[in-house]
């Protein structure tokens, strides 16, 4: 079989050093001395308000926007010394408006980069089929269709498939799920996470939705004006210890709840199994947020924890959940009257 069916190219290391963008005729730089080290296979989220320069920063990696100064390397190779078009063929690129070419079929859209790389017909066709299957669109049904015959969610999947076409080690994604309705968006996010688990690309993902960042990111960079990094850490650490007021404002209310959403029940010290039939149950691999949700329903009575086979392995209550987080940030009202 062709190499396309072998293990996909793992991610590459991206290093940005003092990257600055100044637009002519503007007082200050749009991006000011941005530095970041991205490990291979990491999914990095850029979060910040609109106009903070997060998209500009991302677009400098594939030189859709040329940096004014600074250096960018991918796997040690200086991006600025490469031919920009050659460079872009090795970087997957997904934008919010998707940008599927309306006059090309789905198959033609996906084969744009393979064609630019002069792959032969068979290899291209096999790759298209493979990718459509990866994003769960039946090749027989969809390959010959035109973008306008697809729903928004389907188009977005094709957008991702197109970006993956030449199996690039790096992907840049600019609010790819921004224009879809909440239900579709959540579905796309789940699929995307599943996909990334298999592919482990190095991904820079821009969003203004902090919840999306928490849900998807390995690390989150919270950006402010001129693309200044306010905090760059894992979602759990940012939620637990926001670096400053700006970050806590961005995290918003309910930081504890968001953190609980990241932690599985098995991280808690479980209480004794409650042998009550018909009691409310939570899976051991569910999030603590789900457990809390059920505790509210149960009126505070401990909820049974079951393993993958449905066997009750313990119980969980509010104290045990708050113990995981560290009691100081759980309001006393929730934990009950404790002096």
Partner 1 sequence: MTVQASRDLATAFGTASNRRGRYFSFKRIGTPVVIVVVLLALYWWLSTLALDSIELRTLNWDYLLERTFEHLRLTVVASAIVAVLAIPAGIALSRIHSRAVHAIVFGIANVGQSTPAIGLVILLAIVWKLGFEVALVGLVAYSILPVLRNTLVGLQQVDSNLTEAARGMGMRPLQVLAQIELPLAIPVIVAGLRTALVFCVGVATVATFINAGGLGDMIVNGLKLQRWPVLITGAVVVSCIALTIDWLAGLAEDLLKPKGL
Residue 112 CB, nearest approach to partner 1 (Å): 6
Instruction: Please count the residues of this chain forming the interface with partner 1, following the rule CB under 8 A.
Output: 28
Quickly count: other Cβ atoms within 10 Å of residue 49's Cβ. 11
Our finding on whether 7 is near partner 1 (CB under 8 A) is: no
Helix (H, G, I), strand (E, B), or coil: what is residue 69?
strand
Beta strands at 31-38 and 43-47: parallel, antiparallel or unpaired = unpaired
Quickly count: other Cβ atoms within 10 Å of residue 74's Cβ. 22
Region for 76 from its dihedrals, namely left if φ exceeds 0, alpha if ψ lies in -120 to 50, beta otherwise: left
How far apart CA 219 and CA 233 sit, in angstroms, is 5
143-182 positions binding partner 1, by CB under 8 A: 146-148, 162, 172
Q: Between 102 and 339, whose beta carbon lies closer to partner 1?
A: 102
Our finding on whether 89 is near partner 1 (CB under 8 A) is: yes
The 8-class DSSP code of residue 22 comes to -
Q: Between 135 and 163, whose beta carbon lies closer to partner 1?
A: 163
Residue 98 CB, nearest approach to partner 1 (Å): 8
Helix (H, G, I), strand (E, B), or coil: what is residue 152?
helix
Our finding on whether 226 is near partner 1 (CB under 8 A) is: no
Q: Between 50 and 85, whose beta carbon lies closer to partner 1?
A: 85
Our finding on whether 85 is near partner 1 (CB under 8 A) is: yes
Q: Which of 102, 275, 310, 331 binds partner 1 (CB under 8 A)?
A: 102
- Applying CB under 8 A, the span of 44-52, 88-96, 175-183, 199-207 interacting with partner 1 comes to 88-96
Nearest to 110 by CA among 179, 161, 182: 161
How far apart CA 110 and CA 100 sit, in angstroms, is 9
Our finding on whether 118 is near partner 1 (CB under 8 A) is: no
Binding residues for partner 1 (CB under 8 A): 62, 64, 85-91, 93, 95, 97-105, 112-113, 116, 146-148, 162, 172
């Amino acid at each position: 079989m062709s190499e396309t069916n072998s293990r996909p190219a793992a991610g590459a290391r991206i290093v940005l050093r003092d990257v600055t963008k100044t637009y002519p005729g503007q007082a200050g730089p749009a991006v000011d001395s941005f530095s970041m080290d991205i490990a291979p296979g990491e999914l990095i989220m850029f979060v910040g308000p609109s106009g903070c320069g997060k998209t500009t920063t991302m677009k400098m990696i594939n030189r859709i926007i040329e940096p004014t100064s600074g250096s960018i390397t991918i796997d040690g190779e200086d991006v600025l010394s490469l031919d920009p078009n050659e460079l872009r063929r090795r970087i997957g690129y997904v934008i919010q408006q998707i940008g599927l070419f309306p006059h090309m079929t789905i198959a033609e859209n996906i084969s744009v980069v393979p064609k630019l790389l002069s792959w032969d017909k068979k290899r291209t066709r096999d790759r298209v089929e493979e990718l459509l299957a990866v994003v769960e669109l039946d090749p027989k049904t969809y390959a010959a269709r035109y973008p306008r015959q697809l729903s928004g969610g389907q188009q977005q999947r094709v957008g991702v498939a197109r970006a993956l076409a030449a199996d690039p080690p790096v992907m840049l994604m600019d609010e790819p799920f921004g224009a879809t309705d909440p239900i579709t968006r959540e579905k796309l996010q789940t699929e995307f996470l599943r996909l990334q688990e298999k592919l482990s690309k190095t991904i820079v993902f821009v969003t203004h939705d902090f919840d999306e960042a928490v849900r998807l990111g390995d690390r989150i960079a919270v950006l402010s004006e001129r693309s200044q990094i306010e905090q760059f850490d894992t979602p759990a650490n940012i939620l637990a210890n926001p670096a400053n007021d700006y970050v806590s404002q961005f995290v918003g209310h309910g930081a504890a709840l968001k953190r609980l959403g990241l932690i599985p029940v098995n991280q808690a010290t479980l209480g004794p199994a409650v042998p009550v039939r018909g009691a409310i149950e939570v899976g051991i691999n569910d999030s603590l947020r789900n457990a809390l949700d059920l505790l509210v329903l149960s009126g505070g009575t401990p909820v049974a924890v079951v393993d993958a086979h449905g066997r009750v392995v313990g119980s969980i209550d509010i104290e045990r959940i708050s113990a995981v987080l560290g009691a100081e940030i759980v309001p006393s009202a929730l934990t009950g009257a404790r002096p």
